[in-house]
Structure 1
Amino acid sequence: MQSFIKRFSRARVAAFFIALVVSAGLVAPATASPQAVLNIGYQKGTPLTLLKARGTLDSALAAKGYAVRWTEFPAGPPLLEAMNAGSIDIGYTGAPPPIFAQAAGSRIVYLAAEPAGPHNEALIVRSGSPLKRVADLKGHTVAVARGSSSHYLLVAALAQAGLRYEDVKPVFLSPADARAAFDSGHVDAWAIWDPYLAVVQAAEPTRTLADYASGIAQPYSFFLGAPDFVHAHRDIVETVLRAVADGDAWVGAHRDETAQLIARETGVPPAIVTSFLARSRFGILPLDAPVLASQQRIADVFATQHLIPHAVTVNAIAVPVKIGAQ
């Protein structure tokens, strides 16, 4: 009898301590379900950067049982490589990265678009450079991220100036490596986008040879998704795009606060963020006929120049989703 009492007492003590540990949050109750995770790829200064900085999307998705894992990329092509590999569910890039990705057989889909400002990327030289016009680039080196939005700017600017792509010597570099090569004089020109463009313009005298104000057709930027995730979780995708639409509307009346938030998130000084925000455009767009036609024209340019292995049909990987109050 005494043995039974001792065993019973030990059982009560053990139960007491287990209850204490669980109530203190040191061990999760067995009934707790793991939180789902949405993996978002973003680049500095994009609409997704603002969502991350404000925390509005994290709050909206927490109510649906999702946590957000944010991963920063230096450019669009590596972001879409990660999406194809299954580590990113939703991302945002300029126009060329999804074209290169589709041509390579990557599993991605278009979700929505955003306009870009005519001065948000440029083909630049140092102010003391003897190169005054795009035509002067013949035989010279140009730093550019392969498959990036500025890759299209370079191709289009050369064609506008009567040059072939083969007339220049492209040097494929990430933005950080391109900045070092540009500053040291190891390349003659640089095709680059904001915020990297705004940073270099603030740091040293440069001259713009071409941008989208030079008569080159302005491309769009795009929200993209991993097809399996998009088809299985349409409600989550639409929650993200609604948050983007709300963020775009919020920027209009909160420019200074936007600059401070993005500066804090990216490490870019607020004055520089303010400068590129002033030349940026906002407003998420559906994948309508004009948007898709614009993207198809860019895809055809890359195919004609043999910069992608074969022509692609943009509309084949477009997935219409609801945006805002649609």
Structure 2
Amino acid sequence: MSRASQGPSRRLLLAGALAAVSAAATGCSADSGAAASGGAGRLRIGYFAFPSGDLLVKHGKLLEKALPGYQITWIKFDSGAGVNQAFVGGSLDIAALGSSPFARGVAGSAPIPYKVAWILDVAGENEALVARKDTGITDVAGLRGRKIATPFASTSHYSLLAALEKAGVRPSDVELIDLQPQPILAAWQRGDIDAAYVWLPTLDELRTTGTQLTSSKEIGAAGRPTLDLAVVSDDLIARDPEAIDAWRRAQAEALRLIRSDPDGTVRTVAAELGISAADARAQLTQGVFLTPEQVVSADWLGADGRPGKLLGYIADTGRFLAGQKQIGAAPSEDVVRKAFYLEGLADVLT
């Protein structure tokens, strides 16, 4: 297709939610059973197979230690579009979610009932645009007339559109193809696509036979940063805010471990992703991990009723997506502000 279509309607999202979560459930950790039906002692957590504090919390059972008696289920997703569908279907309590799909989720007349409550990482060299070497393409402008794959409604999709705009290439000048990371790799190997914008670990496999044209680090430095956020459902906020506090403390501990125990972090990421220690170390160096103090600072998420600069980043993302006709209208800053859950954040650091 020549142009990325607008996101699916809420009705279609609801129709697809059960199928998406059913498929995602195959990624649940073996030690987490099926989700309990209601009640405060349940946490259904969506995560990505991607280096972040989530993997340390999951592998180290930090939540199980903090919340004994809770039934904690980890569900693996391939992209933010699936996470959004699952929240619409009421099938998640907490999940990792890119800043671009979050901006989509809070836009429109029926925003998804969730709020951002933490920052997992800032995209760096761990998301990038790569062209197959045999195409001879060496810059973004050279993509005119070419086939480019990316997971639609993801941070990579957003960054791809930003990269094209900066290079003076219209979306209609290329053929944009909606593929998840593993199908991107297969299409790349078959020669069905000329380029792809995607994240680790698929990105590293593409780099072996590709030329990197730009990265989310470069695009962020030019004024369009993307982040991996963590969102919580409105239902969980209403019924069990104490569980959110425990989860935030576990995430803060994970961020500290990334800095204080790099070798242990490498071993954990390698075990969770099924990769070598060398690959895990290389992947970790490509992301930008904040300290817990930075997360709750005015430069990023903010705390206790005082949103930080993330508010502006999300609002800018919404305006850009609306300008690219990816969403019908950008969410206002007031709408974005209401989609921040900052209560109790300062207590995470004490």
* Superposed pair shares fold, TM > 0.5: yes
Contact 1:145 1:151 in 2 (8 A): yes
Contact 1:195 1:273 in 2 (8 A): no
Is 1:271 aligned with 2:278? yes
Spell out, residue by residue over 1:257-296, the C-alpha distance to the aligned partner (whole angstroms, 9 max, x if none): 2122122112233222111101222224133331110111
Paired residue for 2:211, among 207, 211, 220?
Answer: 207
Counterpart position of 2:18? none
Counterpart position of 1:26? none
CA–CA distance in structure 1, aligned partners of residues 321 and 123 of structure 2:
22
Contact 1:96 1:147 in 2 (8 A): yes
Counterpart position of 1:306? 325
CA–CA distance in structure 2, aligned partners of residues 37 and 47 of structure 1:
20
Counterpart position of 1:11? none
Spell out, residue by residue over 1:186-229, the C-alpha distance to the aligned partner (whole angstroms, 9 max, x if none): 0110000123213433xx23211111343433222211011111
What SS does the corresponding residue of 2:85 show, helix, strand or coil? helix
Name stretches of at least 5 consecutive residues in structure 2 with no aligned partner: 1-38, 302-306
Counterpart position of 2:66? 60
CA–CA distance in structure 2, aligned partners of residues 35 and 315 of structure 1:
26
CA–CA distance in structure 2, aligned partners of residues 170 and 243 of structure 1:
39
CA–CA distance in structure 2, aligned partners of residues 246 and 222 of structure 1:
16
CA–CA distance in structure 2, aligned partners of residues 318 and 303 of structure 1:
21
What SS does the corresponding residue of 1:128 show, helix, strand or coil? helix
Counterpart position of 1:41? 46
- One-letter amino acid of the structure 2 residue matched with residue 92 of structure 1: A
Contact 1:103 1:311 in 2 (8 A): yes
Counterpart position of 2:103? 99
Contact 2:123 2:227 in 1 (8 A): no
Q: Which moved more, 1:51-60 or 1:261-270?
A: 261-270
Spell out, residue by residue over 1:58-95, the C-alpha distance to the aligned partner (whole angstroms, 9 max, x if none): 21111xx3121111111121022112211110001211
Is 1:84 aligned with 2:88? yes
Counterpart position of 1:292? 311
- One-letter amino acid of the structure 2 residue matched with residue 282 of structure 1: F
Counterpart position of 1:224? 231
CA–CA distance in structure 2, aligned partners of residues 269 and 197 of structure 1:
16
- One-letter amino acid of the structure 2 residue matched with residue 80 of structure 1: N
Counterpart position of 1:185? 191
Q: Which moved more, 1:97-106 or 1:164-173?
A: 97-106
Counterpart position of 1:148? 154
Contact 1:38 1:89 in 2 (8 A): yes
Counterpart position of 1:133? 139
CA–CA distance in structure 1, aligned partners of residues 262 and 205 of structure 2:
18
Contact 2:46 2:77 in 1 (8 A): yes
Distance 1:310 1:94, change over 3 A: same
**Length-normalised TM-score, structure 1:** 0.83
What SS does the corresponding residue of 2:284 show, helix, strand or coil? helix
Could you tell me how far 1:143 is from its partner in structure 2?
0.4
Paired residue for 1:73, among 77, 84, 88?
Answer: 77
Paired residue for 1:252, among 224, 235, 259?
Answer: 259
What SS does the corresponding residue of 2:250 show, helix, strand or coil? helix
Cα RMSD of the aligned pairs, angstroms, is 1.8
Is 1:282 aligned with 2:289? yes
Is 1:122 aligned with 2:128? yes
Q: Figure out how many residues of one structure are paired with residues of the other and give that number.
A: 289
Could you tell me how far 1:121 is from its partner in structure 2?
0.5
Counterpart position of 1:325? 349
Percent identity at matched positions? 26
- One-letter amino acid of the structure 2 residue matched with residue 108 of structure 1: Y
Distance 1:321 1:179, change over 3 A: farther
Is 1:198 aligned with 2:204? yes
Contact 2:44 2:92 in 1 (8 A): yes
Contact 1:138 1:168 in 2 (8 A): yes
What SS does the corresponding residue of 2:135 show, helix, strand or coil? coil
Could you tell me how far 1:117 is from its partner in structure 2?
4.2
- One-letter amino acid of the structure 2 residue matched with residue 89 of structure 1: D
Contact 1:220 1:295 in 2 (8 A): no
Could you tell me how far 1:297 is from its partner in structure 2?
0.6
CA–CA distance in structure 2, aligned partners of residues 58 and 80 of structure 1:
25
Counterpart position of 1:9? none
Contact 2:123 2:226 in 1 (8 A): no
**Radius of gyration: which is bigger?**
1
**Length-normalised TM-score, structure 2:** 0.78
CA–CA distance in structure 2, aligned partners of residues 146 and 178 of structure 1:
12
Could you tell me how far 1:120 is from its partner in structure 2?
1.4
